[in-house]
Amino acid sequence: MSRSDVDVVVVGAGFAGLYLLHELRENGFSSRVLETGDDVGGTWYWNRYPGARCDISTTDYQFTWDPELHDEWSWSEKHATQPEILRYAQHVARKHDLYSGIDFETRVVGAVWSDESRKWTITTSKGENITCRHYVMATGCLSMPKEPDIPGTDRYKGPVYVTGRWPHDGVDFTGQRVAVIGTGSSAIQSIPLIAEQAAELVVFQRTPNFSVPAHNGPQPADRVARLREDRGAYEAEARLSTSGVPIQPSTTSALAVAPDTAREMLETAWQRGELLALGATFMDVGISRPANEVVSDFIRSKIASIVKDPKTAELLSPRGYPFGTKRPCMDTNYYQTFNLPHVRLVDLNTDPIRSITETGIDFGSESREFDAIVYATGFDAMTGAIVAVDIEGRDGMTLKKKWANGPLTYLGLTSVGFPNLFMITGPGSPSVLSNMMVSIEQHVEWIRDTLVSMREEGFETIEPTPRAEEGWRAHCEDCASITLFQDTNSWYMGANVPGKPRVLFPYIGGVGRYRKICDEVTARGFLGFELTGSVATRCNDGVVREIQPDVESVLEMMATLGLPPIEAMSPVEARAFSEASSAVRPPGPAVGEMIDGSLPGEAGPLEYRLYRPASGGPHPVVVYFHGGGWVFGSHVSDDPLCRDLCVQADVAIVSVNYRHAPEDRFPAAALDGYAALRWVAANAASLGFDPARIAVAGWSAGGNVAAVAAQMARDNGGPELRGQLLLTPVTDGSRQHQSHTDNADGYILTKSLMEWFWNHYADPADRSNPLASPLLAPDLSGLPPAMVVTAQYDPLRDEGDAYAEALSAAGVHVEHLRAKGHTHTSITMVDMLPSSVPPRRAMASALRRFFG
Ligand code: N01
């Protein structure tokens, strides 16, 4: 093997580089690992500041690929210190003879792809050019300290320390006046120890952080017991968990328990001394601001009870951003340190640093001299180390230029225009939102298996397609948008580095979901990748995930329940099942008033429920028809949706219990719908509505009834309608549409259930009647303005789309919302699915527009 031409060049000899080197060798790939430092360890090589520890328990933060390590190595504490973790990395490297595969004190200064040779050329700081087929960045997510952005940093003549580049032989602060700038994890770990030595310590804080006590000590007994009992099962659970640590997800809302109970639960979590325990106490800490406040309040109360000076306690108390959206910290006596007489906290919001000077710091109205300054100001996270070297891909494009507005990757592993470039724990993968060991192992194994598979099939290059990359970006954004992360100035969002684009850099869909997606990409013939070789080219273009992440979670949860198919039930059983399901859902927002009554239908009285907003009337009124396939449901079955529309659109809603099949078949529901509409119009004024502002709305079969009622009103002399809101409506029972097949199964409303509904409702001959299939009406002109909402994963999608298009072609003003990643039912799940909020908001806006 020539050392200057290898199969794979790997940058970085941290845990990722070490494991990858091992796997490359095991699988017969030649490689070079290039490392800037003079030893292995990565993060744990560079971050030697006092107090540096891992804040994931050592039961979880260790390699799993070499089972012998578990017997050979025993951790002395629950949260290992930096020297111990570094010794562990060195032990692994020695045991597997990895040192011999690493070039130390060797930086990469350039990397250029050649389409002609299908190889990368890597130039090193030692002047060497190495060609390689594959180039892997194992450079770590928090390895590039942030450039100083404080005025005067170069003026100071005394010693300056950066936490991420700490001197190897330590620093003695005894008797010194020390300034620490920053209050992130590194500062919070080091401040108590620096305070033990310093004569005077001033901490400069821009944003207070949430920190929980580490309670250092032995490994957690419950985890150790589970590992002893069945290590394989424990590790498998970690790999499929949300954050790479096997924690049973909570099913309790922080808002569903009494305040005292919430406090007790949080106190238990606080005492555990585990980073993830507080956030995992409740299911909605990451997605609901009020739920998050329960946890935030608890931590603030802890700070107030620890820090004696109330003013300092308040300054240390984070406010204005949700717990967990900046990386929470773990400490040993951090808050207690501020009770020491020689420790002072400066709030940079009221006393900003005017300049670092030759001898100290000018801040607020003061000038102070210091014997040493510690910068704990963080990192250019996730992308800093990757773009530090101009990686030049196809056609001279550099990754830095491509990522100017935010990193674009497929799976956080690869990027269009950069064939055969892989990133370990790159942006767009769970990385820093996970236990890094689990994520590193998963990426190394995916890259290893991909290279082996390419070799076996004779492919030389692999590159994602633009469609797959854009799809992944959209999926990452969908995941991020249902969390609280996006409004916080955090390094997760790139907000700590001036000029850095603001996006959520890591993938927040969870480690388990992410792993399944990567495995699916492989199983589907490298979906979203183009592979080329001298023998063949293969491109299996596509998008791996488009479904909204919370919708997918609901589907997964329902799949585990093993529910019987509704179409195997009798109508009576189906109605009971539907009512039982409705009984356990959140109720929806409070409205001004709800009144139940009855109105005359086509063949007898029909029940209705009136929802009125709290605001003063007279309100416009929407006559609403519920879903349930004409077979089940009632005037109260869509309660949460009706309340939500009532509040958001500030309209009155009359939800009607039209007659159901099979007892009352077609056209009973249609005729009742129109009769109810007529009655509401005739009695609008006496019911307190504005008689000039009436619309119809409905979901599913109710959307069908609403559309038919609008046509009947047009054809039978009124009432005049201001609009029709049709949510995933049934519009055509006469034939199959493509979406009936595409979305036949797995999305709650199935093709066979829809057939069951139709069979109960209408004879085949009747299904072409426009009163059953409004799409088939010979003329759609003259109908009121419409909003039609269709869902991507709905068997009814195409007939809804067709109705929107047909209305528009007939000159009707139509707003057509194609709800990406949604199912037939998901948009109605009020207070359950954050991703359903925007489509419902759009529906409420449409109602407001109907009524001017
Ligand atoms: O860096 P940080 P870190 N003027 O970015 C402040 C991991 N880690 O090295 O919040 C004044 O968190 C900045 O203020 P603000 C862990 O993932 C893990 O501490 O931007 N202040 C902040 O207070 C962690 O999250 C472990 O307003 C300035 C601080 O400096 C990540 O590494 C241990 C400033 C930077 O905090 C990074 O942690 C350590 C300025 N110009 C780290 N610029 C464990 O496993 C920045 N700041 C335990």
Instruction: Give tens-digit pLDDT for 521-549.
Output: 999 999 999 999 988 899 999 999 999 99
The pLDDT score that the predictor gives to residue 239 is 98
Give nearest CA residue, ligand 1 atom 3: 378
Q: Which residue owns the Cα nearest ligand 1 atom 9?
A: 378
Report pLDDT for 563: 87
Burial of 786 (0-12, 13-18, 19+ CB in 10 A): buried
The C-alpha R_g of the chain, in whole angstroms, comes to 31
Ligand 1: distance of its center to the CA of 656 in Å?
Answer: 57
State residue 535's pLDDT score. Answer: 83
The pLDDT of residue 540 is 95
> Which amino acid is located at 128 in the chain?
E
CA angle 289, 295, 300 (to 5 degrees): 110
Q: Which helix (H) or strand (E) holds 421?
A: strand 421-423
**Cβ-proximal residues to 54 (8 Å cutoff; 6+ apart), any chain:** 61, 79, 80, 85
Residue 726: phi, psi to the nearest 5? -120, 110
Q: Average pLDDT of the chain?
A: 97
Angle between the N-to-C axes of helices 639-649 and 837-850, in degrees from 0 to 180, rounded to the nearest 10: 60
Q: Ligand 1 centre and the CA of 183: distance in Å?
A: 6
- Positive or negative, the CA dihedral 318, 322, 325, 329 is positive
How far is residue 616's CA from residue 532's CA, in Å, rounded to a whole number?
67
Look up residue 671 and give its two tokens: 């005729």
Nearest atom of ligand 1 to the alpha carbon of 348: 11
Ligand 1 contact via 724 beta carbon (within 6 Å)? no
pLDDT digit string (tens) for 24-45?
Answer: 999 999 999 999 999 999 999 9
CB-ligand 1 contact for 435 (6 Å cutoff): no
CB-CB contact of 679 with 600 (8 Å): yes
What does the pLDDT read at residue 617?
Answer: 85
Testing ligand 1's pocket by substitution, the residue of 43, 141, 186 carrying the most ligand atoms inside 8 A of its CB is 186
- Ligand 1 centroid distance, CA of 444 (Å): 27
State the pairing for strand pair 605-612/652-656.
Answer: antiparallel
Sequence-distant contacts of 561-568: CB under 8 A, at least 24 apart: 565/750, 565/752, 565/753, 566/753, 566/756, 567/750, 567/752, 567/753, 567/755, 567/756
Nearest atom in ligand 1 to 185's CA:
19
Query: What pTM was computed for the model?
Result: 0.94
**Is the backbone peptide bond immediately before 466 cis, with ω within 30 degrees of 0?**
no
Q: Are 105 and 45 in contact (CB under 8 A)?
A: no
130, burial (CB in 10 Å: exposed 0-12, middle 13-18, buried 19+): buried
How far apart CA 798 and CA 810 sit, in angstroms, is 18
Give, for ligand 1, the residue of 58, 437, 496, 505 to mutate: max count of ligand atoms closer than 8 Å to Cβ: 496
Distance CA 59, CA 667 (A): 65
Q: Is the CB of 207 under 6 A from ligand 1?
A: yes
3-state secondary structure 591-631: CCEEEEEEEECCCCEEEEEEEECCCCCCEEEEEEECCCCCC
Report pLDDT digits (tens) over 183-242. Answer: 999 999 999 999 999 999 999 999 999 999 999 999 989 999 999 999 999 999 999 999
Nearest to 790 by CA among 851, 730, 849, 830: 730
β-sheet with 200-205: strand ranges across: 160-162, 372-375, 177-181, 200-205, 343-347
Alpha carbon of 176 to ligand 1 centroid (Å)? 23
The closest-lying atom of ligand 1 relative to the alpha carbon of residue 377 is 30
Ligand 1 contact, 58 CB (< 6 A): no
pLDDT for the residue 1: 60
Cis peptide before 328 (omega within 30 of 0): no
Position in ligand 1 atom list of the atom nearest CA 163: 9
Residue 39 to residues 18, 106, 109, 143: CA-CA distances in angstroms? Answer: 11, 11, 19, 15
Strands 786-793 and 814-823: parallel
**Any atom of ligand 1 within 6 Å of the Cβ of 588:** no
Residue to mutate (ligand 1; options 332, 377, 492; most atoms within 8 A of CB): 377
Check if the beta carbon of residue 201 is closer than 8 Å to that of residue 343.
Answer: yes
Closest Cα partner for 276 from 551, 516, 511, 555?
511
pLDDT digits (tens, 9 = 90+) for 42-75: 999 999 999 999 999 999 999 999 999 999 999 9
Question: Which residue numbers in the chain have pLDDT < 70?
Answer: 1
Percent of residues in the chain assigned helix, strand, coil, to nearest 5: 35, 20, 45
Q: Summarize pLDDT for 322-375 with one digit per residue, the tens.
A: 999 999 999 999 999 999 999 999 999 999 999 999 999 999 999 999 999 999
Residue 2: what pLDDT? 79
Calculate how far, in angstroms, residue 50's C-alpha sits from the geometric centre of ligand 1. Answer: 15
Q: Which residue has the tokens 């054809």?
A: 715
Read off the pLDDT of residues 768-808 as tens digits, 9 standing for 90 and up: 999 999 999 999 999 999 999 999 999 999 999 999 999 99
Residue nearest ligand 1's atom 20 by CA: 496
Point out the ligand 1 atom lying closest to the alpha carbon of residue 496: 20
775 to 280, 706, 749, 759, 798: CA distances (angstroms): 49, 13, 20, 19, 11
DSSP, residue by residue, 376-389:
---B-TTTHHHHSS
Residue with tokens 């360890």: 41
Distance from residue 378's CA to the centre of ligand 1 (Å)? 4
Size of the chain in residues: 852
